Structure 1
Amino acid sequence: MTLQETTELHNGIKMPVFGLGVYKIPDEQQGMEAITYAIKSGYRLIDTASLYDNEQAVGAAVRQSGIDREDIFVTSKVWNTDQGYEETLKAFDTTLDKLGFDYLDLYLIHWPMPKQDKFKDTWRALEKLYEDKKVRAIGVSNFNINHLEDLKTTAKVLPMVNQVECHPHLNQQTLRDYCQAEGIKVQAWSPLKRGDLFEVDSLTEIAKAHKKSVAQVILRWDYQHGILTIPKSVNKSRIEENADIFDFTLSEREMAQIDALHNGDRTGPNPEELNA
């Protein structure tokens, strides 16, 4: 169990279980420093998106890391205003150009945008990119079960990953069970709920018992549930601390305590309601 541990997607591609999220780090120098430090610390997955406006920094940091490109797994996402078949193909070319790569490891539809009713056409574009070997794996983000069921009616390839908001207050148990049955890996964004969980009594007690931080306890909870996770930080000590979760184990009772914190509270939009 190390930071380089991978899981196998349903197409056989191996994807790191743990990575660095770079959500809205627009400062190129700050972003490059964080990514460079993460890679030096052993991270092998970087998660970006066209919305984050830092794909160039991600590409530069990966190229300058001294690690072979094929040993670093990079994810990006098509934004809502670029949905549609031709629009997505064009957006992907822009992403690849900004990254400075020949290929992408994982490309996701950022939001389902159900009222736009374009995600099936967008998915066809992702299938084309996958078929043309421009991307090694394709998936979705923020898709609920109904969106995945709708997508299945026309999809030739099922999503390999569904990246969703997931943390102890929103544990996504029903969605996780569905995805597991369908062979779709669940990845958590905002796994630490932007720090809102750091004062929760049960979490602080568990952390104290293991001589760990609350963040480490939550990320270990992800790991033991088989949830892939991408905590964001630009702080070097936090980047290192977040990854230090492989030397302790939460008991069944502790896992159940954390599961019981679920209350449905979100930090981001409800996928059913976001249509802009």
Structure 2
Amino acid sequence: MSSELYQGIFIPYLGKPEEIKINFEAGDIRRKLNCELTDHVTLWAENYKLSLFCDDFSFKKNLPENPLATRLVINIFGNEFPASIRGNAILLDDEKKLTIGDLNSLLKATVITFRTEEIASHLLRNLLRIKLKDNFSSKNNSCRIQILCRDVAGKENKSQFKSSFRRICYLGEDMEFADVNDWDFIVVQAKYIHRLKMTKSSGPTLEVLIDGKESLFRDESIINNEKNCNTLCKLLLSADDVCYSEYAFKNDIITKLFENIDKLRRKFNKPSMRQMPYG
């Protein structure tokens, strides 16, 4: 079991926030939040790489609103996030040991300007150039690929799903590549998509889950590395199933991009992408 500890902020729905230590392999996030599965929101602030974790079934459980966590998310998203965060929450950063001082600064942080239109245009140009060869999937074997933006979210998802999948890996900084033939479930951070090794002929049925589409298509790493961009485009068009989660708000640029991806998928006799049911 890894002894790597992360320092984050526990934000209760009632009471004062506190600094805590988290060990992903020990299931500390789920234990602290008193839940079986977690969900997360990717947050963007200058000099931070943040994820806010909460109970995946907080709405079904009708947990009370968390006013401080909701205020944090609304401030960072610039009032685009109309939903509330419910129940207790944990804020973590990929690299920083977060303190109460960081939380106070983030509550006053200015909204980041994203290159969403540039990212969408770049992806669409690449998608239009993709030529797929006949690829016969094995109906007896499948590989699910979950794409997300944050290292801490990747480690948490590997930890919470390892009991459900016999062959699961997290493709992050310390893993050179992952072959889809070798794994049932691959959790991959967006900037390492190019490390996915896919067969050129017969291979497993590919299922792709985009964990937070508004986050993924704001992440500049998907176009800063051309191999990364090409691999993502091939996945979006060739996967047998593509589903996604999304936040309570919608971005018109990303919505239009998804409409164009669906048109291209239909040309390759693939079904339209679908939204995952929430909670």
TM-score by length of 2: 0.29
TM-score by length of 1: 0.29
